[in-house]
Amino acid sequence: MNNFIFSYPTKVYFGRGCVREYLACLTRPYQTVMLAYGGGSVRKNGVYDEAAGILAAEGKTVVDFPGIMPNPTYRKVQEGAKLAREAGVDFILAVGGGSTIDCCKIVAAQAVQDADIWTMEMEKRDLPDHFLPMGAIVTVSGTGSEMNSGAVITHEEKKIKGGLMGAHSEFAMLDPAYTMSVPFRQVISGAFDTLSHAMETYFGKPQENNLSDDIGEAVMRSVIANMRALLADHESYNARSELMWASAMAENGILKIGKVTDFQCHQMEHQLGAYTDCNHGAGLAVLHPALYRRIYREGLPKFKRFAMAVWGIDPAGKSDEETAAAGVEALADFIREMGLPTSFHEMGIDAGTDFEAIANSTNITAGCCKKLTHEEILAIFNECR
């Protein structure tokens, strides 16, 4: 087993009513709270009023930071950091999904840092070590962003959607009832993102049997079963709860213990996002089958195991290659069954998009069973058009 260090700084409050029960006490040490959110869903579904009402009743000064867009931009991070400094914010409360939480993680770093955080992290390879404290109320699940300190931010001028390290949330509140207003399509694309996190960890190195992969298989089976349950009953609280916890489980580091993760598909999707501002889970759904059809022969034992343990493929009468290929096709069938897109065209991505530039700017990861070239990445993008 590879060496590892594991520690977990975020305290999780899960379940119906958790915000009402715990928010006041968790924010007690702070006075000026930045309430950060997206394009307005939380204003419509009452979550904003609930959180703001609790803070006001506790005598907090609430500083609103609205308008964090899906695929948050670096410009938005700078706007938030400036606001936090000017208003003397001493705590950031992110209320939303991966986009809002990611943006806040980097606001928390930039607000207490004179150096430009992008230059510091991406060019000087220097990581921030002090932050404004923050917490997260999750309103849409999938990314598991509330469980780690990584943030995916789009630098529009540089045309890079890249990972930065920011603050860990001190606490994460996950009330599945808050996700009931999330449109079905977004729930499904978020859940596919969770499945992708589990797959991209599972296919990372090493390939020998290990506990992390056993847990990963359980997470994948659960996500698939609960996506199917939700397809049958869009309002199922139980399925939405299970998906919310699976989302957290896939990104809290437990599945990654002792592993070098793959995340090649994520690197490709992130660059696609930098150029097209597309939906993250939908982009992954289009790319995964094309990527795996290209690489499964290089990781045959693991792809065979995936086929059998996750998709229930019977290996009897099949060669290892046939079993592994059947697992990849089961994944592709599942994507269709869920009504997820299967091409960039279906996602509404312009045919004139510069896929060569996207491919050439995609990071190549260390964990993948086959080290891709930029030409192969371009070929995959072209297959997905």
CB of 244 to ligand NZQ, least distance (A): 11
H helices of 252-373, in order, are 264-276, 280-295, 300-311, 320-337, 344-347, 355-360
- Of the candidates 285, 260, 278, 247, the one whose C-alpha atom is nearest the C-alpha of residue 358 is 278
C-beta nearest to Zn ion: residue: 193
- Residue 146 is a binding residue for Zn ion (CB under 5 A): no
The span of 174-182, 187-195, 240-248, 307-315 binding Zn ion (CB under 5 A) equals: 187-195
How many Cα atoms occupy the beta-carbon half-sphere of 132 within 13 Å?
31
Q: Please, which residue, 89 or 291, has the CB nearer to Zn ion?
A: 291
**Residues that contact ligand NZQ, how many (by CB under 6 A):** 34
Among 193, 200, 213, 262, binds Zn ion (CB under 5 A): 193
CB of 335 within 8 A of CB of 289? yes
Q: Applying CB under 6 A, does 222 fall inside the site for ligand NZQ?
A: no
Contact between 70 and ligand NZQ by CB under 6 A: the answer reads yes
Smallest separation (angstroms) from ligand NZQ to the CB of 243: 12
Q: Is 252 one of the binding residues for ligand NZQ (CB under 6 A)?
A: no
140 to 199, contacts with ligand NZQ by CB under 6 A?
140, 142-145, 148, 150-152, 178-179, 181-182, 186, 190, 193
- Nearest-Å Rg of the Cα atoms of the chain is 21
Report the run of H or E that residue 262 belongs to, with start and end: none
Which residues, 6 or more positions from 164, have their beta carbon under 8 angstroms from its beta carbon? 105, 106, 109, 117, 118, 121, 122, 150, 151, 152, 153
Site string for ligand NZQ, 268-297 (x = CB under 6 A): ------------x-----------------
**Residue 154 β-bridge partners:** 73, 161
Tokens of 300: 């045959």
Residues lying near ligand NZQ in the complex (CB under 6 A): 38-42, 45, 70-71, 96-100, 102, 139-140, 142-145, 148, 150-152, 178-179, 181-182, 186, 190, 193, 251, 266, 280
Residues lying near Zn ion in the complex (CB under 5 A): 193
